[in-house]
Amino acid sequence: VLADSESAVILRLRGPLDLKCQLDCIDEVPMQKAISRTFEALRLQVKSESCVLAVCNSPVLIWPNKSVFEEITPDAPFEDIFQFIQTRTPGPASAPILTRTVQKSHLLCATLPMDCAVWSSWSDTIKDGCERLMKALTRQLFEMEKVTLQCMKGTTLRVPEPLHFLLPEPNGLVTVVFPRGEPDKELEAQRRELHGQFELPDNRPFFRRANAYHFPNEPYKDGYLRNPHTVLTHPTLDNGKVYLVQGIYSYHHYMQDRMDDNGWGCAYRSLQTICSWFQQQGYVERGVPSHKEIQQALVEVGDKQASFVGSRQWIGSIEVQAVLNHLLGVTSKIMFVSQGSELASKGRELANHFMTEGTPVMIGGGVLAHTILGVAWSETTGEIRYLILDPHYTGAEDLQVITEKGWCGWKGPDFWDQTAYYNLCLPQRPRVI
Amino acid sequence: MSKVTFKITLTSDPRLPYKVLSVPESTPFTAVLKFAAEEFKVPSATSAIITNGKVKGRNSPSSVAGNVFLKHGSELRIIPRDRVGGQGDCISLSMA
């Protein structure tokens, strides 16, 4: 599987390996030894000549340990592989093979989900790329063995599962093996160790499951657009800098989820966008709340009467803050601006917010709610622009329409109602890993 | 009974008038909001109290004046709540 960016390529190797281990007894030490032996056997298998790599959607086959390359030459640069890749309809699945063994024993049977990824560049040769992938594969088997043995509890084993994380430079793409199914809160000690190993700050998460890298060729299945602002050209102001939301959010707007909230739901949608940010950065596991769940939360904190649920009543930034607190445990700062014209002077505060918290900001006033995703501000001239995500959009998830028509776009200070008062809800990032 | 003192500023008035209120520390904070709003002649239902401090959440109705004072200090601001909903997809000035 190949993914591309401007000059770098990610090579990804995936496939199931069967872990089959016959255990004569289920005492801890012999079990561990048997498991280690099985992993060693697997490592030998992947080093053997019978190991074959197939490049997805192409006829290219590679025997890395035999230096046999079908359809392609080993010294060719990786770019050449692209000419072979085309989408094909999948062929018939191969038949399963059954074996029957008559013997009394305990059989440990699992499928190891091998998944290695290495950075490469277009000019690297295929041979080099394969060598690096195979090395990564062997290393992964070692790590899987370690994690399997560490997480053994009596006779229960957890399948080791690799996850990829894109860390800030100079670390780049890193693969970590975690026990499958173990919730994030049980893995804090492992995460702390990883933070130390990679010299990462200890007040923001990098290794929660939600932080796992999203490969460019894997579309999100929920249908929401992610970070539509990344396709925009950011404004260049004299001595100006751009300060943006950090991380990933989904675009929530009118009419989604079969909910007709046209004309009343804009603050709800902005709140949903903010919740999606906290979920995708790994701070919370709960999904984005629906309008009803938002209303229910407000009743629960005593801000609204029970009759509020199911209504089409408007809410504002104070309610947004209350729901973020109640449902997500997130606190927020409220900024009050007595008239819209004053927003032009809030450049420093907004810049600081995006630098330290990096969360999307909900702004309410002049009957409209919007989400501020960033600010372009010049300290010397005071010029300012706001990156706005507009929840009033009623159309389909069409990135082109959304960015060309300005539903996600840069606006000037005249965007705001100059005489109306505004409240901004600035969610604060919890200082946890 | 101990009392706590708050200085509450009305931020929606450009002259930033303020009132100093002394209340028993067990007073529910919602009562403080109501009283302050009445003093300033603004509707309490559409007002909220925030602090000057860095992080502030809306107090749950169960919190009392004493706790608010300990957590956030004595400088508070009363702001008008925004209630927004929009008028459909033809509102924004820069839409085509």
Residues B86-95 have pLDDT tens digits of 654 433 332 2
Residues A252-292 have pLDDT tens digits of 999 999 999 999 999 999 999 999 999 999 999 899 999 99
**CA torsion angle B36 B41 B47 B49 (round to 10):** -30
Of all residues in chain A, the one with the smallest CA distance to B84 is: A367
**A368–B contact, CB cutoff 8 A:** yes
pTM equals: 0.82
Average pLDDT across chain A, whole number: 88
Of all residues in chain B, the one with the smallest CA distance to A298 is: B60
Reported CATH class of domain A240-427: alpha beta
Q: Residue A409 and residue A402: Cα distance in Å, rounded?
A: 9
| Option in B12, B61, B91 nearest A302 (CB) | B61
Task: Please report which confidence band the pLDDT of residue A99 belongs to, taking 50, 70 and 90 as the band edges.
Answer: low
Residue A95: the pLDDT is: 56
Please choose, from the candidates A288, A322, A287, A317, the residue with its C-alpha nearest in 3D space to the C-alpha of residue A304.
Answer: A322
Task: Please report which confidence band the pLDDT of residue A51 belongs to, taking 50, 70 and 90 as the band edges.
Answer: confident
Catalytic annotation present for A164:
no
What would the CATH number be for the domain defined by B3-83?
3.10.20.90
Residues facing residue A13 across a β-bridge: A116
* pLDDT beyond 60 at A149: yes
Collect contacts of A300-304 with beta carbons under 8 A, ≥24 apart. A300/A326, A301/A325, A301/A326, A301/B58, A301/B60, A301/B61, A302/B60, A302/B61, A303/B58
- Cα of A369 to nearest chain B Cα, Å: 6
Provide the residue ranges of all domains of chain A, joining segments of one domain with +. Answer: 8-86+105-211, 240-427
H/E run at residue A162: strand A160-167
C-alpha separations of A263 from A154, A251, A297, A305, A419 in Å? 58, 18, 22, 22, 22
Contact list, B50 vs chain A (CB under 8 Å): 334, 336
Residues A101-133 have pLDDT tens digits of 555 567 778 889 999 998 887 778 888 888 888
**A56–B contact, CB cutoff 8 A:** no
Overall average pLDDT of the B48-73 stretch: 69
C-alpha separations of A162 from A177, A256, A389 in Å? 4, 34, 35
- Cα of B45 to nearest chain A Cα, Å: 10
**A410–B contact, CB cutoff 8 A:** no
Overall average pLDDT of the A66-95 stretch: 62
Cβ contacts of A366 within 8 Å, gap of 6 or more: A340, A416, A417, A420, A422, B84
* Complex prediction ipTM: 0.77
Q: Residue A108 and residue A98: Cα distance in Å, rounded?
A: 16
Among A338, A363, A424, the residue to mutate for chain B (most B Cβ within 10 A) = A338
User: Do residue A262 and residue B14 have CB atoms under 8 angstroms apart?
Assistant: no
Catalytic annotation present for A202:
no
Among A372, A392, A416, A431, the residue to mutate for chain B (most B Cβ within 10 A) = A392
Cβ contacts of A400 within 8 Å, gap of 6 or more: none
**B45–A contact, CB cutoff 8 A:** no
